[in-house]
Amino acid sequence: MLKGMFKGLMERFDRMMGRGFIDDEFYEDLEEALLQADTSVTVTHEILEELRKAVREEKITQPGDMKERLKTAIATRFGQQTAVGLELAPEGLEPSVFLFVGVNGVGKTTTIAKVANLLRKHGLTVIMAAGDTFRAAAIEQLETWADRSGAEIVRSQPGSDSSSVIYDAIQAAKARKIDVVLADTAGRQHSKAHLMTELQKVAKVTEKALGRKADEILLVLDANTGQNAIRQAEEFTKAVGITGLVLTKLDGTARGGALIGIYNKFKIPIKLIGLGEKMDDLKDFKPKDFVAQLFD
Ligand SMILES: Nc1nc2c(ncn2[C@@H]2O[C@H](COP(=O)(O)OP(=O)(O)OP(=O)(O)O)[C@@H](O)[C@H]2O)c(=O)[nH]1
Ligand SMILES: [Mg+2]
């Protein structure tokens, strides 16, 4: 599933392996491949330095051994994350509330469908809040997913206030003893101050309805966005306290390099990864497995 990511890197690696020895050209090829996958210049140079050091100190001579080194170098940059999963509400304080935020088209609504599907399979009841009130189509899209996953939905008229819809959904969940509220929000550019202010209001209203902060505020990032994902993480973190990242569209990206280092920079756990458009295409994030898949 992850074949697309670092495709260029893998092809180049195979060519380097073909040469059977490590030379300057090897490092140059590796550098170019990492940069082409949109790995930042800093992270690329750190990785190269690490590999050169390993070659010197451990007398590595074969590109094949280097591949293992590279895997480790990438995996450590995702930190010691184990799949902790989503944070549910403390016992007795249900419902759990998860807000999904991010720029346009990254996969927020699809991820909500996938998470609803997962929760339903675990026997939890789910209510979706149609907090993307900008477009009628967005509300209909969520309704379709609610039907398919067996979730309920709270919706309002297009153009109505996003935070009131989410407020209503939380109240409905309390009244009907529903386990989890999944709140959709409209896609918003991280550079638009008024939209980020609106998001702060959503977070505040959620807190008011719930008596505590949302259990998760998940920033959804499209793996294809390259280094701009870092900017998005910066701005969304500043506006609202992001508790976890969801990385989507990993099934088709050749620019996943930007994601190396995103954990290191923000120390926000990557909670879920999206690997397709269907409800089952969602996985926990485990750095080692993830990196192993990239290389195999
Ligand atoms: N290949 C692939 N496509 C995905 C994935 N997640 C979402 N998509 C697709 O990306 C497109 C946008 O997904 P949405 O869920 O509507 O994105 P959104 O963030 O809700 O978009 P807005 O509400 O317009 O901001 C759809 O065509 C989805 O099917 C994924 O993990 N892999
Ligand atoms: Mg959406």
Residues 60 and 179 in one domain: no
CATH value at residue 55: 1.20.120.140
Q: Give the best-scoring range by mean pLDDT among 11-15, 144-148, 226-230.
A: 144-148
Q: Is the CB of 252 under 6 A from ligand 1?
A: yes
When pLDDT is averaged across residues 75-89 and rounded to a whole number, the result is 82
- 287 CB less than 6 Å from ligand 1? no
Judge if 69 and 102 occupy the same domain.
Answer: no
| Same domain? 100 vs 72 | no
155-185 pLDDT, tens digit each: 999 999 999 999 999 999 999 999 999 999 9
Q: Are residues 279 and 135 in the same domain?
A: yes
Give the pLDDT band of residue 109 (cuts 50, 70, 90): very high
DSSP notation for 149-207: HT-EEE---TTS-HHHHHHHHHHHHHHHT-SEEEE------TT-HHHHHHHHHHHHHHH
Domain shared by 112 and 203, yes or no? yes
CA of 182 to the centre of ligand 2 (A): 12
Q: Which listed ligand is nearest to 114 at the C-alpha? A: 1
Q: How many Cβ atoms from other residues are within 10 Å of residue 237's Cβ?
A: 15
Can you give the residue range of the structural domain that contains 17?
7-76
Residue 129: which CATH number?
A: 3.40.50.300
Residue 85 lies in a domain: no
Nearest protein CA to atom 17 of ligand 1, as residue: 107
| Number of domains composing the chain | 2
Alpha carbon distance, N-terminus to C-terminus of the chain = 11
Query: In this structure, which residue's CA is closest to atom 29 in ligand 1?
Result: 277
Are 87 and 243 spatial neighbours (Cβ–Cβ below 8 Å)? yes
Both 64 and 202 in one domain: the answer is: no
Residue 112 sits in the same domain as residue 252: yes
The mean of the pLDDT values for the chain is 91
Q: Is the pLDDT score of 1 beyond 60?
A: no
Greater model confidence, 81 or 249: 249
139 and 11 assigned to the same domain: no
CA of 248 to the centre of ligand 1 (A): 8
Q: Cα-flanking dihedrals φ and ψ of residue 59, to 5°? A: 55, 45
**Residue 15 lies inside a defined structural domain of this protein:** yes
